[in-house]
């Protein structure tokens, strides 16, 4: 071969392109209806939603259409979450319910993926209890999905695949995505977590922190803006650690500034911010941004320093409150939301009350509250946990009642204001449109469906507890 011929050769195909084509050929014959149909069910956080969008993108390339009806599906996939025990049990229940369907239609391929399948005990449970599940794979091998699917479709055995150390480090760029919305998008900027909060399974199932390069992120971001996406959320387990592991490190604030410089009519959000790594520079960047939403999700988890230490969170109640004070001063219309765990092992009622006191001080817009759920393999799961479940439930109710009062007060203060919302949809029961403010508060108001996906100004006319109603302000 002449040296010049090298330049005339087509670029090498993506290694999975071969399997994508092959799966398409197999499914063209194996399908039960006019086209192969897939049902993808997603549990858990936005990262899982984003992963499912990538899997659906790959399935689209194989010629699949999508259904919510298991009776119509040729391929059924559960993308699972490992964060809470009851969610895991729900997955097992839902997988078990497919046994009869698989008996009636043996050609259906049932698969389970996601964080749970990176846990050995959960994937072994599937292996033992659900012999009709043909494909099981973890988060680290998602980029090899077409290959794994082909093996499961062609082979005569079941396929079980979890990541190894090497694959843990892989970031595959260029995977297609079939996005669930035409105006809201998730954009993953980093994977994994190094924090090892004592209650959390995520570092074990999603591996160590690794960041995507800023050029790849900027390219995807520009594409989203050019395609009319209006609300783009950057995703990572701890976005404030973004860039630390890159050969040429950059901070998350710097990444935000580069993205914010892209012209267009959109909002830029991010989650999740760890309070130990959230900096004043981040707050300043939010305050000075053109498109950066004034919404900060900053999970505090507890208001007690002893519990925060036992959780291995790496900050104190005082440092958290100092950051919040700085943020409120810099961004007067800031909307703060948070996560709280109630009933961490060994937590006393007095310590729980310190959390209630903290939420009163901060006045969050809303809270995501959870009763502690032990995860096998984490440090907290080994701690004595003497408080009965009913008692923890009472604490949770107490916390929620307090937050409802705060939310109601905040909402009442909104009446008479005009807020810019992104109109997200129409409620089929009430016939009202609903839109989300910059601070991620939902408002409903009358209007026509063709406005969905656009920004509009809404004047808030009423607050019922923590639900806002309004009316569209005619554009000039
Ligand atoms: S920061 Fe803590 S809670 Fe969040 S994913 Fe990492 S270990 Fe889990």
pLDDT tier at 474, thresholds 50, 70, 90 = confident
Query: How many whole angstroms from 196 Cα to the centroid of ligand 1?
Result: 6
State CA 399 to chain mean position distance: 24
pTM of the model: 0.90
pLDDT higher than 70, residue 166: no
Q: Whose CA is nearest to atom 4 of ligand 1?
A: 237
Query: How many whole angstroms from 214 Cα to the centroid of ligand 1?
Result: 23
Residue range(s) of every CATH 3.30.750.200 domain in the chain: 321-412
CA-nearest of 207, 217, 119 to 166 is 207
**Which has more pLDDT, 58 or 162?**
58
Model confidence over 193-246: pLDDT tens digits?
Answer: 999 999 999 998 888 899 999 999 999 999 999 999 999 999 999 999 999 989
Q: Which atom of ligand 1 is nearest to the CA of 196?
A: 7
Q: How far apart are the first and last CA of the chain?
A: 66
**Which has more pLDDT, 17 or 77?**
77
Residues near ligand 1 with C-beta < 6 Å? 193, 195-197, 200, 202-203, 237-238, 274
Residue range(s) of every CATH 2.40.50.140 domain in the chain: 418-472
Query: How many whole angstroms from 26 Cα to the centroid of ligand 1?
Result: 40
> Cβ atoms within 10 A of the Cβ of 376, count?
13
pLDDT higher than 50, residue 448: yes
Q: Which atom of ligand 1 is nearest to the CA of 272?
A: 4
Which class is domain 321-412? alpha beta
Ligand 1 site-directed mutation target among 46, 47, 203, 239, most atoms within 8 Å of CB: 203
Phi, psi of 356 (to 5 degrees): -60, -40
Which class is domain 181-293? alpha beta
Q: Whose CA is nearest to atom 2 of ligand 1?
A: 197
- Give the span between the Cα atoms of 267 and 260, in whole angstroms: 9
Query: How many whole angstroms from 312 Cα to the centroid of ligand 1?
Result: 10
Question: Tokens for 289?
Answer: 């941004």
Q: Three-state SS string across the chain, please? A: CCCCHHHHCCCCCCCCHHHHHHHHHHHHHHCCCCCCEEEEEECCCHHHHHHHHHHHHHHHHCCCEECCCHHHCCEEEEEECCCCHHHHHHHHHHHHCCHHHHHHCCCCEEEEEEHHHHCHHHHHHHHHHCCCEEEEECHHHHHHHHHHHHHHHHCCCCEEECCCHHHHCCCCCCCCCCCCCCCEEEEECEECCCCCCCCCCHHHHHCCCEECCHHHHHHHHHHHHHCCCCEEEEECCCHHHCCCCCCCCCCHHHHHHHHHCCCCCCEEEEECCCCCCCCHHHHHHHHHCCCECCEEECCCECCCHHHHHHCCCCCCHHHHHHHHHHHHHHCCCCEEEEEEEECCCCCCHHHHHHHHHHHHHHCCCEEEEEECCCCCCCCHHHCCCCCCHHHHHHHHHHHHHHHHHHHHHHHHCCCCCEEEEEEEEECCCCCCEEEEECCCCEEEECCCHHHCCCEEEEEEEEEECCEEEEEECCCC
Q: What does the pLDDT read at residue 164?
A: 65
Ligand 1 site-directed mutation target among 202, 236, 307, most atoms within 8 Å of CB: 202
Q: What does the pLDDT read at residue 420?
A: 96
Ligand 1 site-directed mutation target among 196, 197, 205, 298, most atoms within 8 Å of CB: 197
Q: Which atom of ligand 1 is nearest to the CA of 200?
A: 8
CA-nearest of 175, 116, 120, 118 to 145 is 175
pLDDT higher than 60, residue 3: no
- Give the span between the Cα atoms of 213 and 210, in whole angstroms: 10
Q: Burial level of 97, CB count in 10 A (0-12/13-18/19+)?
A: exposed
Q: Whose CA is nearest to atom 1 of ligand 1?
A: 195
Q: On the CB side of 385, how many CA atoms lie within 13 Å of its CA?
A: 19
Question: Tokens for 287?
Answer: 């305050």
Q: Which atom of ligand 1 is nearest to the CA of 203?
A: 7
Q: What does the pLDDT read at residue 169?
A: 61
Query: How many whole angstroms from 234 Cα to the centroid of ligand 1?
Result: 16
pLDDT higher than 50, residue 467: yes
Query: How many whole angstroms from 345 Cα to the centroid of ligand 1?
Result: 17
Phi, psi of 235 (to 5 degrees): -115, 145
Ligand 1 site-directed mutation target among 44, 48, 82, 193, most atoms within 8 Å of CB: 193
Query: How many whole angstroms from 305 Cα to the centroid of ligand 1?
Result: 18
Ligand 1 site-directed mutation target among 194, 207, 238, most atoms within 8 Å of CB: 238
CA-nearest of 360, 362, 463 to 414 is 463
Query: How many whole angstroms from 205 Cα to the centroid of ligand 1?
Result: 11
Model confidence over 250-303: pLDDT tens digits?
Answer: 999 999 999 999 999 999 999 999 999 999 999 999 999 999 999 999 999 999
Query: How many whole angstroms from 136 Cα to the centroid of ligand 1?
Result: 25
5-168 to CATH, choices 3.40.630.30, 3.40.50.12160, 3.10.620.30, 3.90.1330.10: 3.40.50.12160
Query: How many whole angstroms from 197 Cα to the centroid of ligand 1?
Result: 6
Question: Tokens for 114?
Answer: 């996601």
Q: What is the dihedral of CA 325, 326, 327, 333, to 10 degrees?
A: 70
- Mean pLDDT calculated for residue range 93-110: 95
Query: How many whole angstroms from 237 Cα to the centroid of ligand 1?
Result: 6
pLDDT tier at 5, thresholds 50, 70, 90 = very low
Q: What does the pLDDT read at residue 437?
A: 95
Q: Whose CA is nearest to atom 8 of ligand 1?
A: 200
Query: How many whole angstroms from 238 Cα to the centroid of ligand 1?
Result: 7
Q: On the CB side of 321, how many CA atoms lie within 13 Å of its CA?
A: 16
Residue range(s) of every CATH 3.40.50.12160 domain in the chain: 5-168
- Give the span between the Cα atoms of 79 and 115, in whole angstroms: 8
CATH superfamily of 418-472: Nucleic acid-binding proteins (2.40.50.140)
Tokens 């916390």, residue?
399
């Amino acid at each position: 071969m002449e040296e010049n011929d090298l330049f005339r050769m087509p670029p090498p195909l993506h290694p999975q392109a071969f399997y994508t084509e092959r799966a398409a050929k197999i499914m063209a014959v194996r399908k039960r209806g006019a086209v192969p149909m897939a049902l993808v069910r997603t549990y858990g956080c936005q990262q899982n939603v984003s992963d499912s969008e990538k899997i659906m993108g790959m399935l689209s390339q194989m010629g699949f259409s999508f259904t919510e009806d298991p009776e119509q599906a040729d391929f059924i996939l559960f993308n699972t979450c490992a964060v809470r025990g009851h969610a895991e049990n729900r997955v097992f229940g839902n997988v078990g319910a497919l046994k009869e369907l698989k008996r009636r239609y043996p050609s259906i391929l049932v698969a389970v993926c996601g964080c749970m399948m990176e846990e050995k005990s959960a994937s072994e449970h599937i292996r033992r209890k659900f012999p009709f599940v043909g494909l099981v794979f973890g988060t680290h091998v998602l980029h090899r999905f077409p290959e794994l699917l082909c093996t499961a479709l062609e082979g005569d055995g079941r396929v079980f695949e979890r990541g190894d150390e090497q694959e843990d480090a892989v970031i595959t760029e260029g995977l297609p995505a079939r996005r669930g919305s035409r105006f809201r998008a998730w954009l993953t900027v980093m994977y994994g977590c190094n924090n090892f909060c004592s209650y959390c399974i995520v570092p074990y199932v999603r591996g160590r922190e690794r960041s995507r390069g800023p050029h790849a992120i900027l390219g995807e971001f520009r594409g989203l803006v050019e395609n009319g996406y209006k609300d783009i959320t950057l995703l990572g387990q701890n976005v404030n650690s973004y860039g630390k592991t890159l050969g040429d490190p950059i901070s998350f604030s710097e990444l935000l500034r580069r993205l914010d410089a892209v012209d267009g009519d959109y909002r830029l959000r991010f989650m999740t911010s760890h309070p130990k790594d959230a900096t004043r520079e981040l707050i300043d960047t939010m305050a000075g941004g053109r498109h950066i939403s004034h919404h900060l999700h900053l999970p505090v988890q507890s208001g007690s320093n002893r519990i925060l230490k036992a959780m291995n969170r790496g900050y104190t109640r005082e440092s958290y409150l100092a950051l919040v004070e700085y943020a409120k001063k810099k961004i007067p219309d800031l909307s703060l939301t948070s996560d709280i765990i109630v009933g961490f092992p060994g937590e006393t009622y007095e310590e729980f009350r310190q959390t209630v006191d903290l939420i009163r001080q901060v006045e969050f817009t809303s809270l995501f509250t959870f009763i502690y759920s032990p995860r096998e393999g984490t440090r907290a799961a080994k701690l004595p946990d003497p408080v009965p479940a009913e008692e923890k439930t009472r604490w949770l109710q107490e916390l929620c009642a307090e937050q409802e009062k705060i939310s109601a007060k905040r909402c009442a203060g909104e009446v008479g204001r005009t807020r810019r919302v992104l109109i997200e949809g129409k409620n089929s029961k009430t016939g009202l449109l609903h839109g989300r403010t910059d601070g991620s508060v939902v408002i409903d108001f009358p209007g026509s469906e063709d406005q969905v996906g656009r920004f509009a100004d809404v004047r808030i006319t009423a607050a019922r507890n923590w639900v806002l109603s309004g009316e569209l302000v005619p554009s000039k």
